[in-house]
Amino acid sequence: MASTFTDLGLELMATGENAGTWGTKTNANLSLVEQLTGGVNSQAVTDSGTPTALTIVDGELTGTAQHRVIELTGTISGARVVTFPLLTENFYIIKNGTSGAYTVQLKAVSGSGATVTFAATDKGYKLIYLDGVATNTGVFEASIGEANEVTLTGTQTLTNKTLTSPKIGTNILDTSGNELLNLTATGSAVNELTLANAATGDGPILSATGETNVDINLNPKGTGTLKSGTAAVKIAGLETIWVPAAAMYPSTTNGASAQQIETTATRPDMKVLDFDAGTDEFAQFSIAFPKSWNEGTITYQVFWTPNNTSTGNCLFNLTAVSVGDGDTIDVTYGTNSLITDAGIGTVEDQQVSPVSSAMTVKNAAADKLTYFMLFRDANDGGDTFTGDARVLGIKIFFTTDAANDA
């Protein structure tokens, strides 16, 4: 019985055959197995319309399809085809080492089986499998290598890929491994930041996106400030208005006494309003709050000086009402806000009262003129300061909800 051969050219010797040549043929088979499992063959691609045929030669080492790795070489000037023998079931690693930006198609020598094609610029590797189906052997791909693998050191472009591991987690590091940006996740989040780049002449844009109206919260740490360049950025929050006594006027009825008091020549004079110890006396002023006022409650603080050494309590009250365009000014004030401050005991020493509790401005509105009335409740039994309280001015604290009045 004569020897037979596998699809890959290995000789299967029959019993009693090839006496005296078994060693030679076995060595040839082993060499062929070595080629099929790890051998490399360089195959020049024919630069013509004729396909380049890879071959299997039974019992020989000369077949060009009898190697695990096949490198296609040569300069091509058009799309080219490389064929494999029919009925060959095997896998190969194919390297496209051709020169020229043209496709190279891998297929069976005949039939209508599947094919694999190197793109015109793909000079990488392909792992292919031949299914060995009779008359229609198919060639199938599992991509590997330079053009298709993600490597640790190569410069590559990932398209339509989703990274599930690793994900960008709690921080992003700089090139030195230091924290550049820390990220904190919020459960069921719907609002986020969107950063857009810009063309020449325009600046990049950082925007809040998500719901219809979304704030952006920037929170400096500790005593840090929010800056633009080297300058601090004005942000909404607590603001102060200083109203000196010189900007106030005594009420027509029971008005405080406006005075200019000299301490010592060429030293500060004091513009004051004297509030009597025995009678409730009043002074008034008005403020047009900025549009950024949130129209909420306000607080205040009295700056004053005593005209005697009493250390009794002095009771100050402030009240306010806002009046809009077309409204009558003949309107009652709102609810009083009380401050109690004890005399310091030294004439002409400056005193700064505690900050009052929150006070509601009647009819509060930022687009109105707000009238204030300051008075000393001297008739109240709790006012035990025996001298005139000389008011130098008051600070009013209010809250804004916008960075400016735009």
Domain residues of the chain, as ranges?
38-144, 239-399
Q: Is the peptide bond before 166 cis (omega within 30 degrees of 0)?
A: yes
Question: How high is the mean pLDDT of the chain?
Answer: 90
Query: What 3-state DSSP class applies to 32?
Result: helix
pLDDT (0 to 100) of residue 168? 67
Q: How many alpha carbons fall within 13 Å on the CB side of residue 357?
A: 7
**Exposure class string for 241-253: b at 16+ Cβ within 10 A, else e:** eebebeebebeee
Report residue 34's pLDDT band, with 50, 70 and 90 as the boundaries. confident
In the predicted model, is pLDDT for residue 147 greater than 60?
no
Q: Are 57 and 34 in contact (CB under 8 A)?
A: no
pLDDT (0 to 100) of residue 281? 98
pLDDT (0 to 100) of residue 167? 59
pLDDT (0 to 100) of residue 300? 98
pLDDT (0 to 100) of residue 153? 65
pLDDT (0 to 100) of residue 164? 60
Q: 282 to each of 67, 275, 327, 372, how far by Cα in Å?
A: 108, 8, 24, 10
| pTM exceeding 0.85 | no
Torsion of CA 91, 97, 102, 105, to 10 degrees: -10
In the predicted model, is pLDDT for residue 1 greater than 90?
no
Torsion of CA 374, 380, 385, 388, to 10 degrees: 40
Least confident of 100-104, 121-125, 182-186, 341-345: 182-186
Place of tokens 């190969």: 92
Structure tokens at 257: 């006494």
Tens of pLDDT along 39-69?
A: 899 999 999 989 999 998 888 888 888 889 9
pLDDT (0 to 100) of residue 213? 95
Average pLDDT over residues 312-318: 98
Average pLDDT over residues 159-185: 76
- Residues above pLDDT 90, as percent of the chain: 63
pLDDT (0 to 100) of residue 150? 65
pLDDT (0 to 100) of residue 250? 98
Q: Are strands 52-53 and 281-287 parallel, antiparallel or unpaired?
A: unpaired
**Distance from C-alpha of 300 to C-alpha of 354, rounded to nearest angstrom:** 9
Structure tokens at 261: 């008091």
Q: Are 383 and 376 in contact (CB under 8 A)?
A: yes
pLDDT (0 to 100) of residue 145? 53
Average pLDDT over residues 71-77: 95
Torsion of CA 47, 53, 57, 62, to 10 degrees: 20
pLDDT (0 to 100) of residue 233? 82
**Distance from C-alpha of 370 to C-alpha of 126, rounded to nearest angstrom:** 81
pLDDT (0 to 100) of residue 343? 97
pLDDT (0 to 100) of residue 282? 98
Q: Are strands 351-352 and 299-306 parallel, antiparallel or unpaired?
A: antiparallel
pLDDT (0 to 100) of residue 31? 81
pLDDT (0 to 100) of residue 192? 94
pLDDT (0 to 100) of residue 236? 82
Report residue 26's pLDDT band, with 50, 70 and 90 as the boundaries. confident
Tens of pLDDT along 218-243?
A: 888 999 888 888 888 877 889 999 99
Q: Which CATH class is domain 239-399?
A: mainly beta
Tens of pLDDT along 335-349?
A: 999 999 999 999 999
Cβ-proximal residues to 347 (8 Å cutoff; 6+ apart), any chain: 305, 306, 307, 308, 309
pLDDT (0 to 100) of residue 134? 83
pLDDT (0 to 100) of residue 381? 95
**Distance from C-alpha of 139 to C-alpha of 129, rounded to nearest angstrom:** 6
Structure tokens at 312: 């009794």
Q: 247 to each of 205, 284, 359, 368, 394, how far by Cα in Å?
A: 45, 9, 21, 19, 10
Tens of pLDDT along 187-230?
A: 999 999 999 999 999 999 999 999 999 998 888 899 988 888 88
Q: What is the DSSP string of 196-238?
A: E---TTS--EEEEESSSS--------TT---EETTEEPP-SSE
